[in-house]
A and B are shown apart, each in its own frame.
Chain A
């Protein structure tokens, strides 16, 4: 199904220098991501999912193997990607509007073009009326919307998302997932999305890479054939979705058991 991958990991190992020597984070990673594909990385925390995002962004180089972006090895910061993490990293001294306009300023757009584009994005993520508020004055959900709008202002080819909706309540999370999916599909973005939430991993994904172990590796990849346009609200009732989450659960259970965790998590089908 993949003809020419946008992101490609070839037998990638990454170890970090710590006091006691080298601590491996991920091992033997093979993964290909096609343009405009959404791949979710799911697995217990501490198994190196975020390391893959950092490698894609070029924050550090792999210890072994190759990380390719657009066919050539990632060397130095990869300006084709944008990041969104659980901490939204908004600038507290800038208003919502000015935070969204930040990437436009950096790109050197003039004031009027900036303002116009930022207002479009405010409308797109539903933050009208809050343009002049400081991040500390708005709710957690609004901060996420603001960070998402900023990411869209940056307009990178690939979105790297590291549990961006981690700290939100279920309703808000669903609302933002719907929003994200709609925007990503409309704009044809490629997405690498880290999560430990099984529902999220299936609901958003075209494909889902299952991580396990320490150092982490991809133990399995799941094709999520739920269609590119999907109704996240109705998804839960879709038998294919139920089947897929069950499948994912079976894939993840052994690694959880091995770690001595009892199975937990939202919406686990029996």
Chain B
């Protein structure tokens, strides 16, 4: 690790300690713990959740909703994005409708999803998939449309068939955009999962937060939020890791010394 990086981590740790200490200090002294709880209470509650298996139980549901929905939405988004990216006329026809749908706050569809798919796992997975699909689709589509025409022509002159052009140019050059879509989708997948769990469920971290807050159990709510943050960080890191594995040349580009 470079010394600068180590120093950066050190200051970050310092920041966390300072904020937690401040939180602990003001709680009960200046601010009613009913509103902000306190780090020690949240920690106790997390330990209790962990020990009782409650956290694992609810977190596994949230993970299932977010990850399954993410996978389904991403798969469909990439497939449809590539398809429409190649079928220019169809894309032109559908463009205003897709944009209209994209502009709609997806949360507004949650009640309908409950009506259609009930209050079980299917509803959350499909709700997440719908949100992720739109983001991944739009980015992949843009990526496919941005493929350099010169590049494609040069391959055609080499005698490449359509399938070879797809495999050797279109797909790799769309990957960058696809991953942008995937990375953007992580928080939305969680929003979808948590939102679904808050609205209609008795499982998942979203349910924990909603339930604890309803009972004025602020420590429980913060414990749930902490678990959600941890899950978000893990999911983000996973996508980033996959991105680096899938696109080693990008790493090479960013490692290069800056030159103009």
B88 on the A face (CB < 8 A): no
User: Which of chain A's residues 68-107 have a Cβ closer than 8 Å to chain B?
Assistant: 77-79, 81-83, 85, 87, 89, 91-94, 102-103, 105-107
B249/A134 in contact, CB under 8 A: yes
B157/A102 in contact, CB under 8 A: no
Q: Give CA–CA (A79, B160) in the complex, Å.
A: 10
Q: Give CA–CA (A181, B161) in the complex, Å.
A: 31
Q: Give CA–CA (A89, B157) in the complex, Å.
A: 13
A57 on the B face (CB < 8 A): yes
Q: Using Cβ atoms and an 8 Å threshold, which residues of chain A touch B172?
A: 91, 93
A-B contact list, 7 entries, CB within 8 Å: A87-B150, A91-B169, A93-B247, A103-B159, A106-B168, A134-B252, A136-B256
Q: Using Cβ atoms and an 8 Å threshold, which residues of chain B touch A92?
A: 249, 253
Q: Using Cβ atoms and an 8 Å threshold, which residues of chain B touch A40?
A: none
B153 on the A face (CB < 8 A): yes
B155/A81 in contact, CB under 8 A: no
A154 on the B face (CB < 8 A): yes
Q: Using Cβ atoms and an 8 Å threshold, which residues of chain A touch B154?
A: 83, 89
A89/B253 in contact, CB under 8 A: no
Which residue of the partner chain B has the closest CB to A59?
B153
A85/B150 in contact, CB under 8 A: yes
A137 on the B face (CB < 8 A): yes
A154/B249 in contact, CB under 8 A: no
Query: Contacts A91-B151, A93-B249, A136-B249: A77 and B157 contacting too (C-beta < 8 A)?
Result: yes
Q: Using Cβ atoms and an 8 Å threshold, which residues of chain A touch B150?
A: 85, 87, 89
Within 8 Å by CB of A81, from B157, B173, B247, lies: B157
A91/B168 in contact, CB under 8 A: yes
CB distance from B209 to the nearest CB of A (A): 42
B148/A89 in contact, CB under 8 A: yes
B158/A106 in contact, CB under 8 A: yes
Q: Using Cβ atoms and an 8 Å threshold, which residues of chain B touch A103?
A: 158-159
Q: Using Cβ atoms and an 8 Å threshold, which residues of chain A touch B158?
A: 82, 102-103, 106-107, 154
Contact with A along B175-211 (1 / 0, CB 8 A): 1000000000000000000000000000000000000
Contact with A along B222-260 (1 / 0, CB 8 A): 000000000000000000000000011100110010000
Give chain A's interface residue range (CB within 8 Å of chain B).
20 to 34
B159/A107 in contact, CB under 8 A: yes
CB distance from B213 to the nearest CB of A (A): 48
Which residue of the partner chain B has the closest CB to A77?
B156
Query: Contacts A83-B154, A89-B154, A91-B169: A136 and B253 contacting too (C-beta < 8 A)?
Result: yes
CB distance from A221 to the nearest CB of B (A): 27
Q: Using Cβ atoms and an 8 Å threshold, which residues of chain B touch A85?
A: 150
B159/A79 in contact, CB under 8 A: yes
Q: Give CA–CA (A103, B160) in the complex, Å.
A: 8
Within 8 Å by CB of B157, from A57, A91, A93, A105, lies: A57
Q: Give CA–CA (A83, B172) in the complex, Å.
A: 22
Q: Using Cβ atoms and an 8 Å threshold, which residues of chain B touch A102?
A: 155, 158, 168
B164 on the A face (CB < 8 A): yes
A134/B253 in contact, CB under 8 A: yes
Q: Using Cβ atoms and an 8 Å threshold, which residues of chain A touch B247?
A: 93
Q: Give CA–CA (A133, B255) in the complex, Å.
A: 13
Contact with B along A112-125 (1 / 0, CB 8 A): 00000000000000
Q: 4 tightest A-B contacts by CB? A: A134-B249, A134-B252, A103-B158, A136-B253
Q: Give CA–CA (A154, B168) in the complex, Å.
A: 16
User: Which of chain A's residues 133-189 have a Cβ closer than 8 Å to chain B?
Assistant: 133-134, 136-137, 154, 156
Q: Give CA–CA (A137, B253) in the complex, Å.
A: 7
Q: Using Cβ atoms and an 8 Å threshold, which residues of chain A touch B160?
A: 106
Q: Give CA–CA (A93, B154) in the complex, Å.
A: 16
CB distance from A91 to the nearest CB of B (A): 7
Contact with A along B36-57 (1 / 0, CB 8 A): 0000000000000000000000
Within 8 Å by CB of B256, from A83, A91, A137, lies: A137
Q: Using Cβ atoms and an 8 Å threshold, which residues of chain A touch B156?
A: 77
Q: Using Cβ atoms and an 8 Å threshold, which residues of chain A touch B157?
A: 57, 77-79, 81-83, 154, 156
Which residue of the partner chain A has the closest CB to B169?
A91
CB distance from A93 to the nearest CB of B (A): 5
CB distance from B155 to the nearest CB of A (A): 7
Q: Give CA–CA (A87, B164) in the complex, Å.
A: 22
* Centre residue among B150, B156, B164, B249 by max chain A CB count within 10 A: B249
* Centre residue among A77, A92, A93 by max chain B CB count within 10 A: A93
Q: Give CA–CA (A62, B256) in the complex, Å.
A: 45
Q: Using Cβ atoms and an 8 Å threshold, which residues of chain A touch B249?
A: 92-94, 134, 136
Q: Give CA–CA (A2, B97) in the complex, Å.
A: 60
